[in-house]
A and B are shown apart, each in its own frame.
Chain A
Amino acid sequence: MALDVKRFVARFVEEARDHLRRLEEGLAQLAVAGVSDAEAVNALFRSAHTVKGSSRMLKLVAITDTAHKVEDVLGALRDGSLAPSPELCRLLQRGVDAMAAQVDQVAETGTPSDPDPQLLAALAQAVSGEAAASPPPPQSAAASTDASPAEVKLKTAETVRVQLSKLDELIKLMGEVVSSHARLRQRLVDLRGFERAGDSLGGRLQGFARDLRDDVFTQELLMDELHKKALIMRMLPLSIVFEPAARMIRDLGRSLGKDVQCVTAGADIELDRQLIDRLSDPIVHLLRNGVDHGLEPQAARQAAGKPGHGTLRLSARQDGGFVVVEVADDGGGLPVDFIRDKAIKKGLLTAEQAAAMTETEIIDLIFLPGFSTSSIITDVSGRGVGMDVVKRVVVDELQGSIAVESRPGQGTTFLLRLPLSLAVMRVLLVQAGGQSFGFTAQYVAHLLDVPPERVITVAERKAVIIDNEFVPVVPLAELVGLNAAPPKRAGCLLVVIKVRNEKLALMVDQLLDERDMVIKPLPEHLRGLPLVSGMVMTGRNDLVSVLQASTLLDAARRQRGVAGPSEAVSGARVRVLVVDDSLNTREIEKDVLEAHGYQVTLAEDGLDGLAKARSSEFDAVLTDVEMPNMDGFTLTAALRKEEAYAHVPIIIITSREKEEDKRRGIQVGADAYIVKGDFDQSNLVDTLKSLLG
């Protein structure tokens, strides 16, 4: 595909200037304060890293070289092998200035001048720890940094150029109109109240209410249309991100000696520019990882019967009000054992914890900060500014979700699910602990009104069974630090939120509303608040916090951890294998068993369970029935054929209550059959105790 570089150069210049400005400010602070605030240095490092990456994308090698050297020094500052000093800050500043001059040259002529070899040498020397002999500053680099933004010549005349800030203002104004309309609608509700109250004014009021209703309706139609039009003005095709990324990846493959093909699909899908701008970094990072870690060397590929050239697929498709972006490679899949070992080596978890984790959970470790699987630092990736940043951008900033699918020998696919626009989202409003809260609709899996007896107590905490899965129940008020009001109603009102494959049922007092709403950002200094992703305004003009689903799940997990009884309940460390495809169910069973002193290992399906049972020894096995790859009946039958498991107790825990299922369970060799509906911890533990003798 022919690439119109000009389109991207202008974007690069804008973005690079932004990052260079941040570098400049950050360095100034570092020079004054003289202390290294880890997060500040990290932010500088990321800025340098981004300039390096995006300049490479456009083959602006001269800038890449300088940025790389600056990044090296900042990397050394970050890991503490260098201490900040005024000299060092000056040197870094020179690097930043040189880049700024180069960027200006790109804006004017399209090509940057070559990097100053003295500067590069001085930066390299600084990394090695030697005091840099301060060379005289170069006379060049005189280009003014505040040059006006580059002009971009668009090919067609069907477009109008609008300054982005103006467009942002228009959209913000539209948001206000939407909010004011909501107030108008509230007036209508109030008016109906009057109408019911007083008969005297009856006739006149009725007529007025009808007119007002019509007005509100007409305005709503107009306003929706206007809002859509305004938003569309800010939409850009994904090709803006896809095209340069694909080209960069092909070049990168060549530089690494890997023959790489990069195919794109769905690049004409349009997203809000707010998303497009922030999507580039995560996608480029995922693609680089694909080339660097995902694709095997050519010889290994041919030996495995695959084509010699690796393929990266970058595609997008629409899914309801969302876009799913897939970044896939046809490499060897994620090295699960390697990831596990590395996590242990880095002290992120103990060997015992690691052994109890399922494959999916191990794969999720790559999203932890500081986790980078490349054992040598290359120019490409392996820096540890990686998957954690990808996750943060996608989940926290773009209100999306990220999932990984890895098939050994066949490749890895990252799925990013993103809203089309961040300006308006479907929001569910609820009340809990006397306050109102919002949830963006993509995280809400179910709304349930269940009788209290369906909320069962497992391991001293509440849970409810939804679709054959234990889902923990927590009062929302408790998670956000409010006092839970005593229930005013007979049933339990539950909002079940879902992030990736984990669910949590939040007990709320009332459902208030569900509507498309304008999400307003918090003031900048509060953006770090993990619980709140933004605020919406209700018809009564009240501000309501929109809660971050992933943080609520974390908080609920922490609460469990604190409330959980200590390990040393009983001296007998009986080893139990728990096999269930539901993360929540596994976790709950694990908690119950650990509370009673058992040592628990988890497996996510029958095959995983069988492999774990074979590779290690267990005193008992607990399994679900319905699971992918291998069901619980088959697993039980298979285990009975193994010599080591011929007599080990096997307990089937399922929601299948039919007699024939129970019979089948016993036939294949299970010792006990527990129906999830009757599940309580004593039942499970007593059964286990009696079976173990």
Chain B
Amino acid sequence: MTENENGDDLTLDQVLAIRRGAAGPVVNVDEPLVKLVVFVLNGDWFAFHGDRVKEVLSDCPVYFLPGCPPSLEGVINVRGDIESVLSLRSVLRYPPAAPAAGSRVLLGQGADLRSGLRVDSVEEVMDVPQSLIQAPPHTIPDHLRPLVLGIVAFHGHMVTLLDMDRLLADYRAGAL
């Protein structure tokens, strides 16, 4: 054991086993899991906490709302309730794009505001151990920094975990 920890006298198999352990998640069954909704925006990968996404809607017609700010696509009808639809591209300063086939609306619930959020596609809804979420790197653009809770690796992509409460609160305050 001692030899192994010092790196001496290891077989190739042993080395590989250690490498795998470091690279792939070894899930401790007792570790708290968080649910993430992973989506793509202009080729970049993002996620929201699952408890902040009430629903993922596809194929819902968006209706024109005169006089609304440009970042607002319009409104949708969710079983009798009217909900707004924000273009997340516009809010996060990506170039606008025509809605594609895989496009979805996430029904986001912030502290005091609920709104739909238009994303390019939803990739996965998954549970990850809390410990895999790392602190945001320093390379995050300034305008995103206040919104980022952390980053997590997924299928070879770096997924940026966004703060729904902050995003909707900032949007409402006119900061985005």
Contact B66 A531 (CB under 8 A): yes
Given B63, B65, B66, which contacts A542 in the complex, CB threshold below 8 Å?
B63
Flag whether A481 is at the interface (Cβ < 8 A): yes
| Given A523-B114, A523-B115, A525-B172; A545-B80 close (CB under 8 Å) | no
**Bound form: Cα–Cα A531–B72 in Å:** 15
Rounded to whole angstroms, the CA-CA distance of A543 and B115 in the bound complex is 16
Q: Out of B66, B114, B115, B172, name the residue touching A532 (CB < 8 Å).
A: B66
Contacts of B63 in A (CB 8 A): 535, 542-545
**Would you call A661 an interface residue if the criterion is a C-beta within 8 Å of the partner chain's C-beta atoms?**
no
Residue B64 is within 8 A (CB to CB) of chain A in the complex? yes
In the assembled complex, B57 has its CB within 8 A of some CB on chain A = no
Residue A108 is within 8 A (CB to CB) of chain B in the complex: no
When distances are taken between beta carbons in the complex, the residues of chain A under 8 Å from B75 are 522-523, 526, 535, 543
- A466 beta carbon closer than 8 Å to chain B: no
Check A480 for interface membership: any CB of B closer than 8 A. Answer: yes
CB of B83, distance to nearest CB on chain A (Å): 6
Measured in the bound complex, the distance between the Cα atoms of B113 and A551 in whole Å is 25
Please, how many angstroms separate the alpha-carbon atoms of A547 and B81 in the complex? Answer: 19
Quick one: given A523-B114, A523-B115, are A532 and B82 in contact (CB under 8 Å)?
A: no
B83: which of A482, A523, A544 is its contact (CB, 8 Å)? A523
Q: Which segment, of A172-180, A232-240, A357-365, A587-595, faces chain B?
A: A172-180
From residue 516 to 558 of chain A, which have CB atoms closer than 8 A to chain B? 520-526, 529-532, 535, 537, 541-545, 547, 551
- What residues on B are CB-neighbors of A521 within 8 Å? 82
A435 within 8 A of B: yes
Closest to A180 in B: B80
Within 8 A of B (CB), among A652-675: none
Residues in chain A near residue B83, CB distance under 8 A: 523
With CB as the reference atom, state the residue of chain A lying closest to B110: A525
B80 pairs with A481, CB closer than 8 A = no
How far apart are A256's CB and chain B's nearest CB, in angstroms?
Answer: 42
Q: Nearest Cβ in chain A — how far from B113, in angstroms?
A: 5
- Docked Cα-Cα span, A532 to B68, in Å, equals 9
State whether the Cβ of B121 lies closer than 8 Å to any Cβ in chain A: no
Contact string against A for B residues 59-71, beta-carbon threshold 8 Å, 1 for contact and 0 otherwise = 0010111111000
Q: Closest A-chain residue to B72, C-beta based?
A: A526
User: Counting CB contacts under 8 A, is B77 at the interface?
Assistant: yes
Which residues of A sit under 8 angstroms from B160, Cβ to Cβ?
none
Contacts of B80 in A (CB 8 A): 172, 175-176, 179, 520
Looking at chain B's contact residues, the main secondary structure is strand
Cα distance A545–B113 when bound, in Å? 21
Q: Are B82 and A522 in contact (CB under 8 A)?
A: yes
* Most A CB within 10 A of own CB, among B67, B114, B115: B67
A480 CA to B65 CA in the complex, in Å? 9
Q: Quick one: which of A176, A525, A531, A545 contacts B115, CB cutoff 8 A?
A: A525
Q: Is the CB of A523 within 8 A of B67?
A: no
| B87: interface (CB < 8 Å) | no
What residues of B have a CB within 8 angstroms of the CB of A524 in the complex?
113
Nearest chain A CB to B17's CB is how many angstroms away? 51
Q: Which residues does chain B contribute within 8 Å of A179, judged by CB atoms?
A: 80
CA distance A541 to B64 in the complex (A): 14
Contacts of B64 in A (CB 8 A): 435, 545
Return A136 CB to nearest CB of chain B, in Å.
Answer: 34
A9-34 CB contact bits vs B (8 Å, 1 = yes)?
Answer: 00000000000000000000000000
> Which residues of B are found within 8 Å of A525, using beta-carbon distances?
84, 113, 115, 172
Which of chain B's residues 8-40 have a Cβ closer than 8 Å to chain A? none
> A501 to chain B: closest CB distance in Å?
25
Residues of B within 8 Å of A531, CB to CB, are 66-67
Minimum distance in angstroms from A346 CB to a CB of chain B: 28
In A463-502, the 8 Å CB interface with B consists of 480-482
Q: Determine the chain A residues whose CB is within 8 A of the CB of B114 once the complex forms.
A: 523
- Inter-subunit contact B67/A543 (CB<8 Å): no
Q: Known interface pairs A523-B114, A541-B77, A543-B75. Does A529 touch B82 (Cβ–Cβ under 8 Å)? A: no
Residues facing B in A153-181 (CB within 8 A) are 172, 175-176, 179
For residue A165, give the distance in angstroms from its CB to the closest CB of chain B. Answer: 15
> Across the interface, do A523 and B77 meet the contact criterion of CB distance under 8 Å?
no
Query: Contacts A437-B66, A523-B114, A530-B67 given; 14 further ones with Cβ under 8 A?
Result: A172-B80, A435-B64, A435-B66, A481-B67, A520-B80, A521-B82, A524-B113, A526-B75, A526-B84, A532-B65, A535-B63, A542-B61, A543-B63, A544-B63
CB pairs A–B below 8 angstroms (8 shown): A172-B80, A480-B66, A481-B67, A529-B67, A543-B77, A544-B63, A547-B66, A551-B67
Pairs of residues from A and B, 9 with the lowest C-beta to C-beta distance, nearest first? A480-B66, A531-B67, A543-B63, A531-B66, A176-B80, A435-B64, A523-B84, A525-B113, A529-B67
